[in-house]
Amino acid sequence: MPPLLEVDDLQVHFFIDEGTVRAVDGVSFSLEQGKTLGIVGESGSGKSVIGQAILRIVPSPGQIVNGRILLQVDEKENLQQQTLDLVTIDPRGALARSIRGSDISMIFQEPMNSFSPVHTVGSQIMEALLIHSDVSKAEARNQAIEMLHRVGIPQPENRIDAYPHQLSGGMRQRAMIAMALVCRPRVLIADEPTTALDVTVQAQILALLKELQEEFGMAIIFISHNLGVISDISDDVLVVYFGRVMEQAPVKDIFDYPLHPYTQALLRSVPGIDTPVRTELATIEGTLPDPLAYIVGCPFYGRCTECGGDSVCRDQPYELTKVSPEHFVACPRMCIKL
């Protein structure tokens, strides 16, 4: 059986006056039902654009220039095939709209910006239901209350009529999760959903997401810059840098046996229990390459301390190589040795 969602050689480029920004440059992965894929990267790595491309909401001047995004869909009216390539559909069309919110939902970092401030939370959750499923208004309201209850909002029958500004940050994020999940999507894209929250609330939200995943069986794409959060929630992890996947592996392998020098450097730069206090932390020297540059080889070339400026790394075309059944790495130096 094919995976629920399969992304194959996705390229999203932004065409600006100064040139082309290759925000996503050949990313592939697949996602099984009930599993969580963590996408981790620093700011500007293109991790959010991957999520936007799947929902077909890449902002202008960005365009999907290559690749396929294959989603397994249920039989819909005037749609026969089981596998739908989201790249080929019209992003403004009825089909794309019927997928957003019902098959694939998204939650964002700052819930205050994702809710309409002039509508109640309840009416926005009900809107999703009324559009995507054939329910009466009263039924939709009941389901919205049930969903708010499910995400841990106290007194949901009162809170449903609250405006977003009347809720606290954590409650708003819970309400947004309720809105995203009310139509029982099979894929949830969570783009930095806990970054704006305190650690105690972050722990609550992560626990809630895991619980709801078990109950509803949806797959989650969890995008974050926080390695700890990614390690907490993911089954598989993609490490992205400069629009490319540098390493892909099950969560345990990424954090216990990181192979790519970039992954290793990222992990070293966070102070942990083994770091003696008040000592120098390992850093990654230099900065991200110029976003307009086209780099054939390893984009980490020049900052990497392992390769020592090996010209192989600069010139060998980028390729993700399988090093074990589930572990992929894009390090020319390492892959040539294999």
Partner 1 sequence: MSASDILIEVKNLKKYFPIQKGVFKKVVGHVKAVDGVSFSIRQGETLGLVGESGCGKTTVGRMIMGAYRPTGGEIWFQTPDGGPRLNLAEMTPAQMRPIRPHIQMIFQDPFASLNPRMTVREILAEPLIVNKVAKGAALEGRVRELIELVGLKVQYLTRYPHAFSGGQRQRICVARAMALYPRLLVADEPTSALDVSVQAQIVNLALEIQNKMGLAYLFISHDLGLVRHFSQKIVLMYVGKVVEYAPAANLFGKPRHPYTEALMSNVPSVRSDFVSHKIILKGETADPINPPPGCAFHPRCVYAQDVCSREEPLLREIGPDHVVACHFSEALDLNGCDALGCAI
Of the candidate residues 113, 287, 317, 325, the single one contacting partner 1 (CB under 8 A): 287
Question: Does residue 112 interact with partner 1 by CB under 8 A?
Answer: no
Question: Does residue 280 interact with partner 1 by CB under 8 A?
Answer: yes
Question: Does residue 166 interact with partner 1 by CB under 8 A?
Answer: no
Of the candidate residues 20, 28, 226, 264, the single one contacting partner 1 (CB under 8 A): 226
Interface segment toward partner 1; rule CB under 8 A; list 65-73, 109-117, 212-220, 222-230: 222-230
Give me the amino acid identity at 150.
R
Residue among 202, 198, 214, 262 at smallest CA distance from 40 = 262
3-state SS assignment for residue 223: strand
Of the candidate residues 204, 216, 235, 333, the single one contacting partner 1 (CB under 8 A): 204
What is the size of the binding site for partner 1 (CB under 8 A)?
Answer: 44
Of the candidate residues 137, 271, 294, 311, the single one contacting partner 1 (CB under 8 A): 271
Question: Does residue 225 interact with partner 1 by CB under 8 A?
Answer: yes
Separation between Cα atoms, residue 24 and residue 21, nearest integer Å: 9
Interface segment toward partner 1; rule CB under 8 A; list 14-22, 49-57, 275-283, 316-324: 275-283
Residue 234 CB, nearest approach to partner 1 (Å): 11
Question: Does residue 165 interact with partner 1 by CB under 8 A?
Answer: no
Looking at the Cβ atoms of 25 and 253, the one nearer to partner 1 is 253
Residue among 122, 170, 165 at smallest CA distance from 144 = 122
Question: Does residue 201 interact with partner 1 by CB under 8 A?
Answer: yes
Residue among 334, 80, 26, 35 at smallest CA distance from 213 = 35
Looking at the Cβ atoms of 165 and 278, the one nearer to partner 1 is 278
Q: 237 and 205 in contact (C-beta within 8 Å)?
A: no
The three-point CA angle 92-87-64 to 5° equals 90
Residue 138 CB, nearest approach to partner 1 (Å): 31
Beta-sheet strand order (sheet of 36-40) = 104-107, 187-191, 219-224, 36-40, 236-241, 244-250, 327-329, 321-324
Of the candidate residues 39, 151, 178, 266, the single one contacting partner 1 (CB under 8 A): 266
Of the candidate residues 146, 198, 214, 315, the single one contacting partner 1 (CB under 8 A): 198
Interhelix angle 137-150/121-132, rounded to 10 degrees, is: 120
Give me the amino acid identity at 214.
E
Tell me the two tokens of residue 17: 């006056």
- String of contacts with partner 1 for each residue 5-44, x by CB under 8 A: -------------------------------------xx-
317 backbone dihedrals φ, ψ, rounded to 5°:
-60, 145
Interface segment toward partner 1; rule CB under 8 A; list 28-36, 55-63, 203-211, 305-313: 203-211
Beta-sheet strand order (sheet of 83-85) = 19-31, 5-16, 62-72, 83-85
Give me the amino acid identity at 36.
T
Radius of gyration from C-alpha coordinates of the chain: 21
Given the rule CB under 8 A, which residues bind partner 1?
Answer: 42-43, 168-171, 198-204, 206-207, 225-229, 231-232, 251-252, 255-256, 265-267, 269-273, 275, 277-284, 287
